[in-house]
Structure formats: structure tokens, C-alpha cells
Amino acid sequence: METTLRGVGVSHGVAIGEVRHMGTAVLEPPAKQIPVEDAEREQGRARQAVDAVAADLMARGNLAGGEAQAVLEAQALMAQDPELMTDVERRISVGSTAERAVYDAFAAYRDLLANAGEYLAGRVADLDDVRNRIVARLLGVPMPGVPDSDEPYVLIARDLAPADTALLDPALVLGFVTEEGGPTSHSAILARALGVPAVVALPGACELAEGTVVAVDGSTGEIFVNPSDEKKAELEAAAAARKAALSASTGPGATSDGHKVPLLANVGGPADVPAALEAGAEGVGLFRTEFLFLDDSKSAPSEEKQVEAYRQVLEAFPEGRVVVRVLDAGADKPLDFLTPADEPNPALGVRGLRSLLDHPDVLRTQLTALAKAAEGLPVYLEVMAPMVADRADAKAFADACREAGLRAKFGAMVEIPSAALRARSILQEVEFLSLGTNDLAQYTFAADRQVGAVSRLQDPWQPALLDLVAMSAEGAKAEGKSCGVCGEAASDPLLACVLTGLGVTSLSMGAASIPYVRSTLAKYTLAQCERAALAARAADSAEGARQAAQTVLSGE
């Protein structure tokens, strides 16, 4: 019997196949005592297992490249955290086995993170995955992970660790569905990069029986269990029509009546550039430079290393626009040399621009490196600061850019509601705004972007979030300046039309989403987008806003 379930669609496309479940998590090791004379041997076993897991994560990262590489390298650093290792060795010295010591030490660290207001829930999930891999190696059991299968399948999991998502084989994994996660979780972002249809935050996903046939619509978030032949045909026809439309749509982003909306790519470094170019990106709307800094949490990369990485990206877009976000550290991206270790709530503490203003040498080096990387290139370089709260923040950043001799446009990210409310004030100091809708939603609704239980509040269709986008765009228009969106909201083709109608001047997203957005924008006039935006803002819920916009654009 066909039934329909609904989660949150996070990666476009349709997948039809049999369910396969993610391998089970490692069981809790027994709590048995070892003789004192065995402690040194057990400590050696623990160190070897930790080093092996870290090396495996680094190797996976090298294979995956791009954003996935940065995420996996961060996990490798987590595995080798000196404080965690000290705790493991201490527990072994008082009688624990290596596997039990790892399990208990990670559990204690996990509790510390969970009690810090749960902002670090995504980091907790990564921590659990690292623990499971180390314990599995010590116990000599298979690693938890993607099932072995010779036939293509739809993967079902409670959540997917970055190490698993990064190396999914699209030839075998037709799509995936998770119970946890949200539209801006690591798994969702990596799924879009892979181009694998995905749905997250689906209650009861793990209860689907092995071998059940499901159809996954990564655009709508719908899961059809035991779909009829008619439903399969309907979904396949829709997917084929979508693919044909994508192939026919080329060139710069624009509405059907010629209103230009530059479509830019979000990148984490040089490895992401080929996909952006292939998708026809008109430039880079968000260069996440923090991935350069995750290689070594103890110190910042040298100026020379930064210049090399920045120049590779800048050279790829001659005459194009490249928007670089300076280091955004803190909260779920802590760096030992930069961010406080003992903040009770890192999400509301010293992160982003606040960290850089506390460490002006780090900011100065990065800005100098950007200036040198752009020398002699015909690129339109723009540099923006994360977590700008007010005009004073914007002025401090612009002053730092000028002092570093940077010849570029200076901008501010709108991720804090105060920045949207006072957009015109901030634009007295900088030349453009860029809306980071992921964090803006998080701070607007007090809803952690990594926690599946509050994913409805992370939905970028929330009318209150659209109101803040509109305020920012209106403020920029009044000042004669630009206001783009570089959050994951831009990757939703229908929402891209609404954002255009709200007055957003450019859209930046993962490369895989660019063809979908280009094709959809080209179907509608600017006036239609504006009417859809008004209808969405008049709704009282995210689903209501989506339906209202769809109704306007479909002419119903």
C-alpha cells in the first residue's frame, strides 16, 4: 500500500529504489579492569587507534576534496585532541581498557558540549562518529558506515557523519533519508555538493524495513513508500522534464523579462572551483576561507600559503566577481589560537569578526594575503566580515581593510537580526551586504541549525526570516548598494524567485544548485517574483509561504 511521508528536502532530484540501512553504531565496551602492568600497553593501543582513525579521515578528505575535505580534516583534529588523549590515558592508568577509556573520555567531552546550550550539536554528532571509529578499531569489529551492496539503493540513517557522506558513490547510493539533521547540516551541504537527492528530519525513517521500495523527492521532501507504478512514472517524468529544462538553460541568471540576477557559487577552496565553472557560475559569492585554517588549530596558516590558495580561486574567474569572507571562527568552528575555550555559549560569544578584532594580527595577515593574491588580476574582489552586529563593527572592519592596503569592496554579512534592522546604518561604512540565511535563521528563531527537532524553524521560508531579508534589501536599495544572499536559501529554485522579488541583487549557492535556480528564474518575470514575495510574507508559516508563492507563480 502506497503511503506518503514528509521530511525536509535538502538536495534536488528524485531517487527510486530499495531501502538499505546504515551500519549500526559501535556497542558500548564492557567496563572491566586491567592489571596496572598492562596500562602502558593499553595506552599504546589507544594512541595507535586514534592515529589510524585520524589518518583514515584525512585520506577520505583527500579523496573527497572541496568542502568535504575541510570537514573531515576537522574531524581528524578532533580525534587527536590532546586534552581528550590525556583523559584517555588517565583512565587507562587507573584500570580501564583502551576501548572503555576512549568511550568514557568521549562521553564526558560530549556532555560538556551538550551542556553548552546545544549550539554544538553538529560537533557532538561528529564527535560520536570519531568515537565509534576508534572503539571499532580497538574492538576489531567493522567500522560503522555505508552498507555493502552491488545494487543501487536508497540509504536510510538516523544521521550521516561527514566521513560517510563525503564518499558516497552516486552510482550506488541513489539518494538518502535521515531522521536527524536540518537543511544546513553538514550532511545536507555535502549532499548538494554531490548532487545526491536527500531528505532529512524525517520522523520514523529508521523504521522503514530493509528492502522496502521508496521514492525520494529531494525537492519537496516527500517520501513515497511502496509507490505505485503510476506514481513512479509521474516522478520519473517530472525528473526527466526538469533535466531537459536544465540542459536548455544556459548563460547568466535572469528573469524572463531580462532582470539580471547574478548566480554565484559558494566555495571552500580551489578544489571547489571546477564544479562551479562547470555549472556556469558567474563568480564566487562566498569563499569560506576558514577551511584553510582548519589544517592546524594551533596556529594560522602563513601569509604565503594563504596567498597561494586565494590566487588559485581568483584566477579562475577573470572579469568575474569573487566575494571572500574573512575567517569565521568560533562556535562550531573553534580554533585553539583564536577562540576562547571556556565560553558558556559559544554561539553568542566571541566568534566571527569579534574574534578577528581581538586578534588584529590574524586579520591583518589575511587581508594582506588577499591584497597580494589579487595583484595584477582582472578580478572584481570583494571582502566581507562575518557576524557584523552594528555600524561600529562595520567601521572597524573597513578600517582594517584600508590599513592593509586592500583594493576591494568591503562588505558585511547579515547574520544577526540587528544587522538587518539597521542595514542602512551599516551601509554607511561598507559597500555591500550579503545575507547568511543559515545563521540569520538560527539567531532569529533561537533554533540551532544542527538540531533536527527544531528544523522547522530553520526553514528559510519562515515569513519572519523573509521580512528580515526584505528589510536588508530595501536598506541597500535606499543607499544605492547591493544585497546578495549566500546562505543555503539561495539553492531553493522557488525561494530564489521570492528572494529576487524581495529585492536581493545576487544569489550564491552550492554549484550543483545553480542550473536548477537558473532554469526556474528564467520562467518568471520580475513582477511575478515580486507578487510571489508579497504572498509569501503575508503567510503565517513556512509551509504557507511556500504554497502561497507557488500559487502565484503557477498562476492558479
**Residues 261, 256: Cα–Cα separation, whole Å:** 11
**Under a CB-based contact definition with an 8 Å cutoff, are residues 92 and 43 in contact?**
yes
**Residues 477, 460: Cα–Cα separation, whole Å:** 22
In which residue are the cell numbers 553538514 written?
Answer: 186
The CA-CA-CA angle for residues 517, 519, 525, to 5°, reads 95
**Residues 410, 310: Cα–Cα separation, whole Å:** 17
Q: Does residue 359 carry a catalytic annotation? A: no
pLDDT band at 119, cuts 50/70/90? very low
pLDDT in tens, 390-402: 999 999 999 999 9
The pLDDT value given to residue 297: 57
pLDDT band at 295, cuts 50/70/90? low
List % helix, strand, coil for the chain (3-state, nearest 5): 50, 15, 35
Q: Give start and end residues of each alpha helix (H) in 218-320.
A: 229-248, 273-278, 290-293, 303-315
**Residues 257, 217: Cα–Cα separation, whole Å:** 30
The CA-CA-CA angle for residues 415, 486, 405, to 5°, reads 80
The pLDDT value given to residue 117: 40
**Residues 214, 135: Cα–Cα separation, whole Å:** 33
In which residue are the cell numbers 555493502 written?
Answer: 148
Between these two residues, 112 and 423, which has the higher pLDDT value?
423
Q: Within its chain, how far is the Cα of 116 from the centroid?
A: 21
**Under a CB-based contact definition with an 8 Å cutoff, are residues 51 and 128 in contact?**
no
**Under a CB-based contact definition with an 8 Å cutoff, are residues 367 and 410 in contact?**
no
Q: What is the DSSP string of 361-383?
A: HHHHHHHHHHHHHHTT---EEEE
CB-neighbour burial class of residue 57 (10 A; exposed 0-12, middle 13-18, buried 19+): buried
Average pLDDT, the chain: 88
Q: Of the candidates 474, 475, 464, which has an alpha carbon nearest to the alpha carbon of residue 545?
A: 464
Between these two residues, 109 and 53, which has the higher pLDDT value?
53
pLDDT in tens, 420-473: 999 999 999 999 999 999 899 999 999 876 665 777 888 899 999 999 999 999
Our CA dihedral for 9, 11, 12, 17, rounded to 10 degrees, sits at -80
* DSSP H or E segment with residue 508: strand 506-509
Say whether pLDDT at 118 is over 60. no
Give percent above pLDDT 90 in the chain: 57
The pLDDT value given to residue 17: 94
Rounded to a whole number of angstroms, the CA Rg of the chain reads 24
The pLDDT value given to residue 26: 59
| pTM: predicted TM-score of the whole model, two decimal places | 0.70
Give percent above pLDDT 70 in the chain: 90
The CA-CA-CA angle for residues 318, 319, 321, to 5°, reads 95
Q: Does residue 483 carry a catalytic annotation? A: no
Cell matching residue 90: 588517565
Say whether pLDDT at 122 is over 80. no
Q: Which of 2-6, 8-12, 452-456 has the highest mean pLDDT?
A: 2-6
**Under a CB-based contact definition with an 8 Å cutoff, are residues 530 and 537 in contact?**
no
Per DSSP, 336 falls in state: T
Q: Is 83 helix (H, G, I), strand (E, B) or coil?
A: helix
Q: Which of 12, 359, 401, 486 is catalytic?
A: 486
Say whether pLDDT at 352 is over 80. yes
* DSSP H or E segment with residue 125: helix 121-139
**Residues 120, 12: Cα–Cα separation, whole Å:** 27
Q: Of the candidates 324, 417, 316, which has an alpha carbon nearest to the alpha carbon of residue 363?
A: 324
Say whether pLDDT at 75 is over 70. yes
The pLDDT value given to residue 120: 47
Pairing of strands 8-11, 198-200: antiparallel
> How many Cα atoms within 13 Å fall on the side-chain side of residue 477?
13
Say whether pLDDT at 113 is over 70. no
Q: Which of 186, 359, 483, 497 is catalytic?
A: 186
Say whether pLDDT at 116 is over 50. no
**Residues 513, 487: Cα–Cα separation, whole Å:** 12
**Residues 82, 242: Cα–Cα separation, whole Å:** 50
Give the pLDDT mean for 297-302.
78
**Under a CB-based contact definition with an 8 Å cutoff, are residues 267 and 276 in contact?**
yes
**Residues 55, 50: Cα–Cα separation, whole Å:** 9
Say whether pLDDT at 202 is over 50. yes
**Residues 447, 119: Cα–Cα separation, whole Å:** 9
Say whether pLDDT at 128 is over 90. no
> How many Cα atoms within 13 Å fall on the side-chain side of residue 181?
31
Between these two residues, 405 and 78, which has the higher pLDDT value?
405
**Residues 428, 537: Cα–Cα separation, whole Å:** 28
**Residues 216, 174: Cα–Cα separation, whole Å:** 9
The pLDDT value given to residue 389: 98
Cell matching residue 399: 578600517
**Residues 84, 108: Cα–Cα separation, whole Å:** 9
Say whether pLDDT at 149 is over 90. no
Q: Within its chain, how far is the Cα of 554 from the centroid?
A: 30
